């Protein structure tokens, strides 16, 4: 039965996340936007509290590690009469939207909540889960010469029979929380001549002497979240740190790695929805102070332009939000959702950026100045249309699936 309201059972989770967003994230937003590269120690206590709540089955808002197509959380209570489930994918998404309404930069640097955990959860075996589970894991995929084209990465992993280790060499950039995390999940190729099939992910401990921090980036936004560049210089990891199978299989291996994104893309879309809702909420207040009320019944063209503009932004925001909830709902119900996950990410990424920039303009100097957070949100939000697959990559995925094209045909 069609129903697109937030399930009542998640209301408490949402209100907890909202409280955290208000009291901790918003309270520190400007501070860490200004103090780039300084560690937001306020988050340590919060992260510990969230760890505790996760174990208790409560708020799992920022937990990328809890999403996936496997048996989802919330147990039997997630199951409806007709087999319909609202489980951990939706719970994580809803919590995340609230937290990012608070501050997406701080969310991204929440201890032990990095997207690397999603990769580990997706492909690790039991022994690896025991060793790496619960740690703060960052993802290192992008290289100076390979961004969206992740199959073209050049970082190599050579097996050393004498020591039973892999030796990693190469350069990794744009590693979110790379300097703060305990572990870095590094993508490297066992054999550059064999393309995608040879790409594997390796868990590297942050204190590995072969993993050398090159620099921390200075960025447009999400400054609370550090972005690290590394050089891997004969970086040795035990062979047990390879995630998944060491075999170079012509099919399946890389696709498995890429499927991690089906679960994380709706989360990044959710971040975009959270940030842009913050923009809309604040702009609505500022417009009200300026005497502009939004009337949903009267035609937009017979209202002030600002009100019409607001309805226009809000409608696209609503479309993005519902597309994202759909992708999470499908994951909870174990329906394949590659298409819907990319649709959600594409729509949310562009809508959120558009909304944030238009809200700055509607609020005028108040929106552009640092006295409000609107200008910060407009800077923060842009990354969400880029990482975890750019707008253009999402459209490629969507159109290939719709048109039945291979990556060779539709480049």
By CB under 8 A, tell whether 135 contacts another protein: no
One of 141, 184, 323, 378 touching another protein (CB under 8 A): 323
Q: Is 400 in the site for another protein (CB under 8 A)?
A: yes
- Extract long-range pairs of 11-17: CB within 8 Å, 24+ residues apart: 12/58, 13/58, 13/59, 13/60, 13/61, 13/91, 13/94, 13/95, 14/94, 14/95, 14/98, 16/53, 16/58, 16/59, 16/61, 16/95, 17/59, 17/61, 17/94, 17/95, 17/96, 17/98, 17/99
Q: Where are the alpha helices (DSSP H) in 24-158?
A: 27-34, 42-55, 88-102, 104-108, 116-123, 126-132
* Residue 276 CB, nearest approach to another protein (Å): 14
Stretch that binds another protein, among 26-34, 58-66, 269-277, 291-299 (CB under 8 A): 291-299
Query: Which residue from 8, 41, 218, 251 is in contact with another protein, where contact means CB under 8 A?
Result: 8
Closest by CA position to 204, among listed 212, 196, 215, 195: 212
Where does this chain touch another protein (CB under 8 A) — which range of 178-186, 213-221, 263-271, 294-302? 294-302
Size of the site for another protein (CB under 8 A): 53
Give min distance, CB of 341 to another protein, in A.
12
C-beta of 62 vs 396, nearer to another protein: 396
Known catalytic residue at 388: yes
Determine if 301 is a binding residue for another protein (CB under 8 A). yes
Residue number with CB closer to another protein (10 or 230) = 10
Both tokens assigned to 256:
């498995």
Binding mask 201-220 for another protein (x = CB under 8 A): --------------------
Residues 90-119 that bind another protein (CB under 8 A): 90
Residue 84 near another protein by CB under 8 A: yes
Largest CA distance in the chain: 77
Taking the C-alpha atoms of residue 60 and residue 70, their distance in angstroms, rounded to an integer, is 16
Report the relative pairing of strands 242-243 and 165-176 from DSSP bridges: unpaired
CA dist., res. 51 & res. 273, Å (int)? 24
Q: Please report how close the Cβ of residue 216 comes to another protein at its closest, in angstroms.
A: 34
Candidate segments 82-90, 180-188, 223-231, 373-381, binder of another protein by CB under 8 A: 82-90
Q: Quote the tokens at residue 30.
A: 């400007």
Residue closer to another protein by CB (options 206, 347) is 347
Binding flags for another protein, 325-364, as an x/- string (CB under 8 A) = xx--x----------x--x--xx-----------------
Pairing, β 183-189 against β 137-140: parallel
403 belongs to the binding site for another protein (CB under 8 A): yes
Least separation in angstroms between CB 5 and another protein: 7
Residue 80 makes contact with another protein by CB under 8 A: yes
Where do we find the tokens 């050398």? Answer: 212
CB nearer to another protein: give 259 or 312: 312
Locate 56 and state its tokens.
Answer: 């208790």
Cβ(283)–Cβ(359) below 8 Å: yes
Strand runs (DSSP E) across 227-341, as ranges?
227-238, 242-243
Residue numbers annotated as active site: 388
Positions in the binding site for another protein (CB under 8 A): 1-9, 80-82, 84-86, 90, 296-302, 311-312, 314-316, 318-320, 322-323, 325-326, 329, 340, 343, 346-347, 392, 395-396, 398-400, 402-405, 409-411
């Amino acid at each position: 039965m069609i129903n697109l309201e937030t399930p009542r059972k998640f209301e408490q989770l949402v209100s907890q996340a909202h409280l955290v967003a208000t009291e901790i994230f918003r309270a520190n937003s400007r501070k860490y936007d200004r103090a780039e590269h300084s560690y937001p120690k306020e988050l340590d206590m919060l992260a510990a509290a969230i760890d505790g709540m996760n174990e208790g089955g409560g708020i799992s808002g920022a937990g990328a590690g809890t999403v996936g197509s496997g048996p989802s959380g919330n147990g039997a209570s997630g199951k409806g009469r007709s087999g319909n489930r609202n489980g951990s994918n939706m719970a994580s998404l809803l919590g995340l939207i609230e937290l990012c309404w608070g501050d997406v930069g701080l969310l991204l640097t929440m201890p032990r909540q990095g997207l690397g955990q999603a990769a580990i959860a997706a492909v690790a075996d039991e022994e690896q889960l025991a060793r790496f589970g619960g740690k703060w894991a960052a993802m290192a995929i992008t290289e100076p010469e390979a961004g969206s084209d992740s199959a073209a990465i050049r970082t190599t992993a050579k097996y050393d029979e004498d020591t039973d280790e892999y030796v990693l060499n190469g350069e990794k950039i744009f590693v979110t929380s790379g300097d703060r995390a305990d572990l870095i999940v590094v993508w490297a190729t066992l054999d550059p001549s064999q393309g995608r099939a040879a790409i594997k992910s390796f868990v590297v401990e942050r204190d590995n002497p072969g993993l050398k921090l090159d620099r921390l980036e200075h960025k447009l936004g999400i400054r609370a979240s550090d972005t690290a560049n590394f050089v891997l210089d004969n970086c040795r990891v035990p062979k047990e740190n390879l995630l998944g199978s060491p075999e170079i299989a012509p099919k399946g291996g890389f696709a498995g790695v890429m499927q991690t994104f089906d679960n994380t893309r709706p989360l990044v879309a959710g971040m975009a929805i959270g940030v842009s809702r913050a923009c809309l909420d604040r702009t609505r207040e500022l417009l009200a102070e300026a005497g502009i009320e939004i009337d949903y019944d009267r035609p937009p063209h017979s209202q002030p332009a600002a009100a019409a503009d607001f309805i226009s932004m809000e409608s696209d925001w609503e479309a993005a939000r519902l597309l994202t909830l759909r992708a999470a709902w499908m994951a909870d119900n174990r329906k394949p959702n590659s298409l819907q996950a990319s649709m959600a990410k594409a729509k949310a990424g562009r809508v959120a950026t558009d909304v944030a920039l238009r809200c700055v303009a509607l609020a005028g100097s108040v929106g552009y100045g640092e006295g409000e957070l609107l200008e910060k949100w407009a800077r923060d939000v842009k990354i969400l249309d880029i990482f975890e697959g750019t707008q253009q990559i999402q459209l490629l995925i969507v159109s290939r699936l719709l048109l039945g094209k291979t990556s060779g045909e539709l480049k």
